[in-house]
Amino acid sequence: MKTIRPEDYRHILFFTGAGMSAESGVPTYRGAGGVWRSYRWEEYACQDAFDADPEKVLRFHELRRKSVLACQPHAGHEAVARLEGEHPQVTVVTQNIDGMHQRAGSRRVLELHGSLWRLRCPQHGIREDIGEAYRRYRCEDCGNWLRPDITWFGDMLDSFVMGQAAQAIRSCDLFVSIGTSGVVWPAAGFPQAARDGGARCIEINPEANEMSSLYHESIRGTAGEVLPGLFSS
């Protein structure tokens, strides 16, 4: 495999999806063993489901928190974090809610779909809550249900995060997509946007998908196998 010289690029952007965390043991959404194969998102991952039965939805997210806490970042996450320490401009734009990039040491991480580790009160805003179980299901100030701060099906993306991601995509000159099926919009449009902006676009995914033809190069391997050797130092 040819290596990339990071110094040839001004701004390197990693765009990651569930496949990035697969080798850590976090299930993907759509592949074999995917979350949406065992759970109907209509019952667990949309505002209507939360309004109908908030406890059921919160319990489902607690299960996910528990399974993610049992996993560790892998060599691919570490390679991404290391590069941030060695290169002037590295951004991670992730669809993942698991916080694995941050646990590996990445600092500039834009979480497009929110985080498993935050809850929000409709009146009192965001609170961080890290641990297997939520500290509380209801806001201590007003008694409202606390909702996972995650972009569920049918939700709008956070406009501030989306704006930052769009800016980063416009300005990057190397765009490395890892482990996403490219079916969930607007994130699915990012590779085309990066390409339109003049970036070299690389995909790391063991399987091709509808978006694969957009990339200048597709590396058919896993995140944990490919990333540690991708950049020459």
In the complex, the residues that contact ligand APR under the rule CB under 6 A are 17-19, 22-23, 28-31, 34, 95, 113, 178-181, 183-184, 204-207, 209, 222-223
Least Cβ distance, residue 187 to ligand APR (angstroms): 7
Calculate the dihedral angle through the C-alpha atoms of 134, 30, 91, 23, rounding to the nearest 10 degrees.
Answer: 80
Is residue 108 within 8 A of residue 88, CB to CB? The reply is: no
Is residue 228 within 8 A of residue 4, CB to CB? The reply is: no
Is residue 80 within 8 A of residue 100, CB to CB? The reply is: no
Cα–Cα dist 199/135, whole Å: 43
Q: Which of 87, 113, 124, 216 is catalytic?
A: 113
Query: Between 114 and 139, whose beta carbon lies closer to ligand APR?
Result: 114
Query: Between 91 and 218, whose beta carbon lies closer to ligand APR?
Result: 218
Query: Between 30 and 108, whose beta carbon lies closer to ligand APR?
Result: 30
Query: Between 179 and 191, whose beta carbon lies closer to ligand APR?
Result: 179
- 156 Cβ contact partners less than 8 Å away, ≥ 6 residues apart: none
Tokens of 151: 């972009």
Is residue 43 within 8 A of residue 50, CB to CB? The reply is: no
Least Cβ distance, residue 123 to ligand APR (angstroms): 26
Least Cβ distance, residue 194 to ligand APR (angstroms): 16
Q: Answer yes or no: 216 catalytic.
A: no
Query: Between 139 and 204, whose beta carbon lies closer to ligand APR?
Result: 204
Least Cβ distance, residue 44 to ligand APR (angstroms): 11
Least Cβ distance, residue 223 to ligand APR (angstroms): 4
Helices (H), the chain: 19-22, 35-38, 41-44, 47-52, 54-69, 75-86, 100-104, 159-171, 190-196, 223-230
Closest CA to 8 of 121, 75, 92, 87: 87
Residues annotated as catalytic are 113
